[in-house]
Amino acid sequence: MSGRRVSPRPVSKARLFDEPAHGETARPAAYTFQMDGAARGNPGPASYGVVVRDPGGAVVDRLKKAIGRATNNVAEYYALIAVLDYAQSHNVRDLRVESDSELLVRQLLGRYKVKSAELRPLFERAKKMSSGFASFRIEHVRREHNREADALANAALDDASGGARQPNYFEGELLSSGDLSSEQHYKKQPASRRFRAVVRAGVLHPSTPLDLPDGTEVEVHVLARPKPR
């Protein structure tokens, strides 16, 4: 066996919610914010919903607010700014944010550029606010793991419209065709399309053909309406 000593590799200081290095004090457990923005139409009546959980996972607050007419991406940024404002005003120093908006998350992480003039000031504000915390982490989650925040956002829209539910439909936005590597992809897609559908055995059956190629990925927003008696 060789007697040559091997120097340990240096530990990177750029860690986010990792195990503390030797000699460091562990950071306090983070609050979790589950957030969602919604827009009925793109643009259209918009809102956001936020679920606040303490470090033990218990729900300590729920936020919802209609924000007027906006796009879905703008609503997502309003949700994030609401999260950051809440954390600041409640002296939350360590936070973890969950969002089902891949675009917003990748922009905050620096993977996508923010080319939209509409989103740029919201992005800059969110980025500046997030830098003021002891620790901040944002991650993308699947829509089914964000149902409570989505329900709050839709409840805010219902409240703003007098409690009237829209007809049952699902709304698809093309995601898989073309390049998904930048914000330009989202701009190139056609406007959201709405279809009425019925549910049989847990499966959505659209009333009209979708005319989409096999393998196309879509985002589906369901507004349920009871079946007429």
Task: Write down the pLDDT at residue 161.
Answer: 87
Q: What is the pLDDT of residues 154-174, one digit of tens each?
A: 999 999 988 655 443 333 333
Task: Write down the pLDDT at residue 130.
Answer: 97
Q: What is the pLDDT of residues 184-227, one digit of tens each?
A: 444 444 445 566 676 654 566 676 556 665 555 566 666 665 55
Task: Write down the pLDDT at residue 195.
Answer: 63
Phi and psi at 140, nearest 5°, equal -85, 135
Task: Write down the pLDDT at residue 192.
Answer: 55
3-state percent breakdown (helix, strand, coil) of the chain, nearest 5: 25, 25, 50
Q: β-strands 44-53, 31-39: how paired?
A: antiparallel
Beta bridge partner(s), residue 208: none
How far is residue 189 from each of residues 70, 72, 168, measured CA to CA in Å?
18, 14, 23
Please name each of the domains of the chain with its CATH number.
27-162 (3.30.420.10), 165-229 (no CATH)
DSSP 165: P
User: Within the chain, which residues score under 70 in pLDDT?
Assistant: 1-28, 163-196, 198-205, 207-229
Tally of residues, the chain? 229
CA dihedral 161, 165, 166, 169 (to 10 degrees): 140
User: CB within 8 A of 20, min separation 6: which ones?
Assistant: 26, 27
CA distance 30 to 155: 27
What is the torsional sign of CA 176, 179, 180, 182?
A: negative
CA distance 3 to 228: 82
